[in-house]
A and B are shown apart, each in its own frame.
Chain A
Amino acid sequence: MMDWAYLFEISLTGIASGGLYALAALAFVMVYKATRVVNIAIGEMLMAGAYLFFTFAAMWSLPLWLAIPAAVLASGLLGAVIERTMIRPLLGEPPISAFMVTVGLGSVLVGLVEMVWSADQRRLPDFMPSKPIMVGDAFLAPKVFWGAVIAAVFIAAVLLVFRYWRGGVALRATASDQGAAYSVGINVPRVFSLAWVVSAMLAAVSGIIVGSIGGISSSMGVFGLSVLVVVIVGGLDSVLGALVAGVLVGLVEALAGAYLGGEYKLLATFIVLVAILMARPYGLFGTREIERL
């Protein structure tokens, strides 16, 4: 006999953590849409944001309202530096080059974090309410719940901003056709920078949330693997896909973790990934590229 209440509880947790995946996936999709760079170091950028927050909040003991924006801004700066020094020189090279550069970037970031903060697990200062959340009879860990809420707020904000703000319009224009965007006077290189800065900031936000739920360590980049699955399942260049797939993967991971055991989590997500790719090679909502000779 199945325990429906338990299933409900697990599903809720899964959907909530899926919100976090969606936020990180949004950071990924932003960069991919604008610059066609698959940023495999997304998990490491998350980690960098979380560690910056840790530095500001726990080591320099800044107040939270200052530490969080500072960490986000510093991450944005990091994003700009990455774009300028590593991605810009590779414009026009095959996509695989930029992909590999982000592989190297991930390694550098992990190494730097271990050098500066050591590889030990750290705890981020608590800033979310700790009252348990009850949905009907189901219990939801408060941090997970509030994390999902923050993620949802950010996702909504980003979507609105990029719907109505000029920079957002420029970004979407660049995403759909670089040449045309250039010819109507959009500064495409600026848009590239913008995409990386915004992406790094979003990654920092989700890094701070993820870190305050599960603690931070130099192996936080593993989170990035799940994010990678999310964006691939959703389709690399689809915002909607990132949201749907985020929830889907969160759900699958939670169910696999609860019913099969922790070691099945990543396995289950990757099996979902392969299954979906076999059926839809460009992900659920990805643009199907038409190839001509």
Chain B
Amino acid sequence: MRIGTFKETYVADAALFDSRTQHVWLGIAAVLLVAFPFVASDYWLYLACLIAINVASSTGLNILTGYTGLVSLGQAAFMGLGAYTVAILQARWGTPLLLNLLAGGFVAMVGGMVVGIPSLRVKGLYLAIVTIAASFIAHFLFANFSITGGTTGLSMQPGQLFGAVLDTSFRLYWLIVPVTVLMLLGAANLFRTRIGRAFIAIRDRDISAEVLGIPLLQYKLLSFGLSSFYAGVAGGLWAYFFRVVTPESFPLSLSIFFLAAIIVGGMGSILGGVLGAVFMTLVPEVLKLIVDLLPGGTNLTVFLSPVRLVIFGALIIGFLVFEPLGLAEMWRRTRRFFHLWPFRN
């Protein structure tokens, strides 16, 4: 039985992971993450990398939408900015991988800040529509600039890290997952700092935040920038993973996917972003499995993509209507049950 908390020092109170149990579980998770590639098949490794990329991007969106309260439908466009930057750097100049990733992140960050400029004047849903505009403008730029290879896009060589050529899912796993874990830790820590607290204040009521001395434009831009930085790095990882970047790689529906992921997972919670991204990435795969298992599976594959759309939409609606705080809240409930057991919650 583990009831409540009993903190004796400020350090303990401010700790990111506060209990012994949590440390143990995190240790187990880390060991599992390290062991996973040695036991998993190629298909599962592929999925793991994809999930990690989506986790990184949806965590970024969570900073912006979940914590700062600025709804964005442009996350995919910022991913695209990162992916194109990485692809151009890698294909033209062959600069080192980590440098490319950072550059991708920073280019996306600048893009995000430019898109964020209207955020002081334009509020709420108007802003969401402005970000849709941004994603169309980005798509147009990708498709019509010569440096991005036009509609055919860019293809690139596999990246190299410490002399190893990253051409299999197994090797890419060692790039993608650690980067994602680092970014997750960064995001989790962000909300223990002045900046993260300011974001939360802006989300809760932006006028009172301003009265409290938080410069709104500066922090909103910062939030846009950080979120896009995450998207840019995720996009860069995406580029190394698929090695082909086209304007169609980052459609508006991908932005909606990320927004859906944080809704399903739970807005304003790091764990929520992770759970949501994992869940949403796995849903289509599980569907595919079910269709394969059903009798007459080949006829049903025609239905796969519409069914996916319906389930995708139904998940968003269902979570918003029945569980607005998402999977993270379910997780919290489960945890609370064990904390308080044998007493009722």
Which residues from chain A sit less than 8 Å from chain B, CB to CB? 38, 85-86, 89-90, 93, 95-97, 99-101, 103-115, 119, 225, 228-229, 232, 236, 263-264, 266-267, 270-271, 273-274, 277-278, 281-283, 291-293
Query: CB-CB < 8 A to B126: which residues of A?
Result: 232, 236, 277, 281-283
Binds A, one of B179-187, B235-243, B290-298, B316-324: B316-324
Contact with A along B108-131 (1 / 0, CB 8 A): 000000000010011111101110
By the criterion CB–CB under 8 Å, are B320 and A97 in contact?
Answer: yes
Partner of A107 from B137, B303, B313 at Cβ < 8 Å: B313
Taking CB as reference atom, which chain B residue is nearest A279? B121
B309: which of A86, A108, A291 is its contact (CB, 8 Å)?
Answer: A108
Given known pairs A89-B321, A278-B121, the reply for A104 and B306 (CB within 8 Å) is no
| Interface hit among B4-12, B152-160, B167-175, B255-263 | B255-263
Given contacts A228-B132, A232-B126, contact A111 B313 (CB under 8 A): yes
Given contacts A109-B313, A273-B130, A273-B133, 13 further A-B contacts (CB under 8 A): A97-B324, A100-B320, A104-B314, A107-B313, A108-B309, A263-B144, A266-B136, A267-B137, A270-B136, A277-B130, A281-B122, A281-B126, A291-B207
Quote the shortest CB–CB distance from A102 to chain B (angstroms): 9
Complex Cα distance, B312 from A99, in Å, reads 15
Do the beta carbons of B118 and A225 come within 8 Å of each other? no
Neighbouring B residues of A278 by C-beta, 8 Å:
118, 121-122
- Chain B contact residues, majority secondary structure: helix
B310 CB–A CB distance under 8 Å: yes
Chain B residues with CB below 8 A from A104, complex form: 260, 312-317, 320
Interface residues of B (CB under 8 A from A): 71, 118, 121-126, 128-130, 132-133, 136-137, 140, 143-144, 205, 207-208, 211, 256, 259-260, 263, 303, 305-317, 320-321, 324
Say yes or no: A293 contacts B310, CB within 8 Å. Answer: no
B residues within 8 A CB of A274?
A: 118, 130, 133
Check B143–A263 contact: CB distance below 8 A: yes
**Contacts of B71 on A, CB cut-off 8 Å?**
96, 99
- Check if B306 sits within 8 Å of A105, measured CB to CB: no
14 sample A-B contacts, Cβ–Cβ < 8 Å, listed by A number: A86-B317, A90-B320, A96-B71, A100-B260, A100-B263, A100-B320, A103-B256, A104-B314, A110-B309, A270-B132, A271-B137, A281-B121, A292-B207, A293-B208
